Amino acid sequence: GAGVSQSPRYKVAKRGQDVALRCDPISGHVSLFWYQQALGQGPEFLTYFQNEAQLDKSGLPSDRFFAERPEGSVSTLKIQRTQQEDSAVYLCASSLGTSGTYNEQFFGPGTRLTVL
C-alpha cells in the first residue's frame, strides 16, 4: 500500500482479555516503531525493530506487552491480560533506514484501544 496501515482501527476489550494489534509498514522500510499515545499526551516509545530484529524494547511498560516482526515486514503488538491503564492509541511508524541515521518516520492511523 501507499502508507502504513494498522488494524483494527478500534478495539474494545474487557479487562483481562488478550489483544493483538497489527501494523503493515511501507514496503521496503527497514525500521518499525511502536508508540503508545494517551489522550492529551505525545507518543511514548514502546519498541523498535530493524528488519526482524527487536533492537530496543525499553519502552514496553510491563511483561504483558510483547511485539514481534518475524519476517521483517508486518508487526504485531500483543497485550496480555489487558488493564484499564492500557487504554490508549497505539501508533506504528516505519522509516526507510536504520536508527543509525534519523530517517523520517511515517505513522499509521493508529489503533484506539479501550479496556472496560
Q: What DSSP element (H or E) covers 92?
A: strand 88-95
Q: Out of 5, 22, 26, 45, name the contact with other proteins by CB under 8 A.
A: 45
Q: Is 41 a binder of other proteins (CB under 8 A)?
A: yes
Min dist. Cβ of residue 42 to other proteins (A): 3
Calpha distance 97→39 (Å, rounded): 30
CB of 81 to other proteins, least distance (A): 27
Spatial distance between the Cα atoms of 13 and 16, rounded to a whole number of angstroms: 8
Residues touching other proteins, count (CB under 8 A): 21
